[in-house]
Amino acid sequence: MRALRPMIPLRMVSKRLISKTVNLRVPISTNPAMKFPCLDRLEQISEELKQRNGERAELPDSVESGKRGNEDPVYGNVKSGFELFHSYEPLFLDYCGVLPNFQIAYETWGKLNEDKSNAILIHTGLSASSHAHSSPLNKNPGWWEDFIGPNNKALDTNKWFLICTNVLGGCYGSTGPSSLDPADNLPYATRFPMLSVHDIIRAQNRLIKEKFGISKLYCSLGSSLGGMQSLCYGQLFPNEVQRVVSVSGCARSHPTSIAMRHAQRQVLMADPNWNRGFYYNTKEFPNRIPPHVGLKLSREIATISYRSGPEWESRFGSERIDDEKSPVLCSDFLIESYLDHQGQKFALEYDANSMLYLSKAMDLFDLSQSNLNRSAMKREHARMLFEANKLNTTCEEILQPPKRKKSRTTSEDEVRKDLVEGMKSLRDLNVLIIGVKSDALMPHWQQRGIYEVLGGDNNHKAIHIELQESQSLFGHDTFLLDQENVGGNIGKFLCNDL
């Protein structure tokens, strides 16, 4: 758009010159109006999603959970090729909810030996599927493709029987917020009950015992959310696991990590398409689209916490995509273009509600004794309500009134003692804790903290490894990338070689 004649007030210009688009594009201005190709693109994606809804208006209300991935082109970029384990006994939950039944998607590699003593359960991070490695059923490379395989890989499939699940609450085949509530056969959405990491582990434990008949795992192993789960398995079932590996995990979430995830959730929830969780298409509401903008932004924030400044410095520096162009408010620096790409990739692949529930479960993660006691009470309460057929009832109604506070009421020392008590069952197991110096999300001192709570140098069964910045600059994501220092050390630990 060229200027007509500058300095003439708008009201003197013929009305027909004013663009009719939503945004007022005034033809006369001192400087040109900024352009926003990034917003144009997001609007275009929304438009495409709406059109796809039209094409599949015949989609039935009840899509069988395990298969919905194949029928849902929106957020359901679900990996196929997993097996399903169904549990028809209700699962009572740590925050007073209940799942009347549930399913867990899982994959396996290697062969379970005769006495069932070589099974390793791999726990995933927040957004991963069960597809840790390629398989005959799904030939795509898995998220730990290079860590798993016969012979020289960290997890030797000639030796071990590896099991990986999609976590409860996820969207890659396991029961989660996008699954149907048996009460009305409509998606749970935010009627899904709040989950804890402990709930996820109790569901996995059923798979291990009921499906495979394994009474004792050789190892429970995971990183990030998986590192939390891994410790949790040892805490809850110390007699059903020999070894525990926890990489970039913690015993209790730190306020900075909670703050980072809080921002991700609030940003997603502010997307009008999120619609308080009810964005799934149903017969009654066939025109909803998922909150892809909110999920993209949320993933960009997450990505900031997954990598490290020094890595970005060496990869992108502070360089712009093009120094000669006028700066723009859409992506302009190399780092911005990277974040934008990471967010966009995720936005149409993952289920937004799964992100919310699992992110919250990470915030709530706490291996302390008082947390165990509190949640035991609430699970019992949920069982009572369920058996009395009082569904759809909040627990609060018969618990004590809220105590509001503005600053912490327990000292760091009290918290530590509470953790020592809660984690005492883990002290009898062989435990490997790996921390990464460049990790900003679950900082290295949190892993050192786990080691100390387990007895530190006085506990000969616990091993603590801290990767220095000279070893890895990949921050929290190191566990996905560092075959030598993460994979290598895990491989040795499994063979009692550390």
Site for a second copy in 107-166 (CB under 8 A): none
C-alpha–C-alpha distance, residues 351 and 74, integer Å: 9
Residues sharing a CB contact under 8 Å with residue 60, sequence separation 6 or more, in sequence order: 283
Pick the piece of the chain touching a second copy (CB under 8 A) from 202-210, 230-238, 262-270, 486-494.
Answer: 262-270
Q: Whose CA is closest to 208, among 108, 281, 291, 285? A: 108
**Cβ 56 to a second copy shortest distance, Å:** 20
Judged by CB under 8 A, the residue of 191, 216, 416, 492 near a second copy is 191
Detail the DSSP E strand segments found in 419-484: 430-436, 462-467
Pick the piece of the chain touching a second copy (CB under 8 A) from 139-147, 231-239, 397-405, 483-491.
Answer: 397-405
Judged by CB under 8 A, the residue of 400, 458, 470, 496 near a second copy is 400
Judged by CB under 8 A, the residue of 20, 139, 406, 460 near a second copy is 406
Ranges within 408-437 binding a second copy (CB under 8 A): 408-410, 412, 415
C-alpha–C-alpha distance, residues 342 and 390, integer Å: 44
With binding defined as CB under 8 A, does residue 182 bind a second copy?
yes
Pick the piece of the chain touching a second copy (CB under 8 A) from 102-110, 229-237, 387-395, 476-484.
Answer: 387-395
Query: Phi first, then psi: what are they for 184, rounded to 5°?
Result: -145, 5
Ranges within 25-64 binding a second copy (CB under 8 A): 26, 28-34, 36, 38-39, 42
C-alpha–C-alpha distance, residues 400 and 398, integer Å: 7
Query: Phi first, then psi: what are they for 17, rounded to 5°?
Result: -80, -15
Residues sharing a CB contact under 8 Å with residue 7, sequence separation 6 or more, in sequence order: 28
With binding defined as CB under 8 A, does residue 14 bind a second copy?
no
Q: What is the DSSP letter of 136?
A: S
Tokens of 336: 């911005």
With binding defined as CB under 8 A, does residue 456 bind a second copy?
no
With binding defined as CB under 8 A, does residue 270 bind a second copy?
yes
Residue 459's region, left for phi above 0, alpha for psi from -120 to 50, else beta, is beta
Judged by CB under 8 A, the residue of 67, 116, 374, 444 near a second copy is 374
Contact between residue 17 and residue 3 where contact means Cβ atoms under 8 Å apart:
no
Catalytic residue among 94, 351, 418, 439: 439
Q: Look up 224 and say whether it is catalytic.
A: yes
With binding defined as CB under 8 A, does residue 86 bind a second copy?
no
* Cβ distance to a second copy smaller for residue 139 or 276: 276
With binding defined as CB under 8 A, does residue 301 bind a second copy?
yes
Q: Which helix (H) or strand (E) holds 490?
A: helix 488-494
With binding defined as CB under 8 A, does residue 80 bind a second copy?
no
**Cβ 153 to a second copy shortest distance, Å:** 30
Token pair 């929290």 in the structure block, residue: 476
With binding defined as CB under 8 A, does residue 100 bind a second copy?
yes
Query: Phi first, then psi: what are they for 377, rounded to 5°?
Result: -65, -45
* Cβ distance to a second copy smaller for residue 18 or 495: 18
Task: Enumerate the active-site residues.
Answer: 224, 439, 476
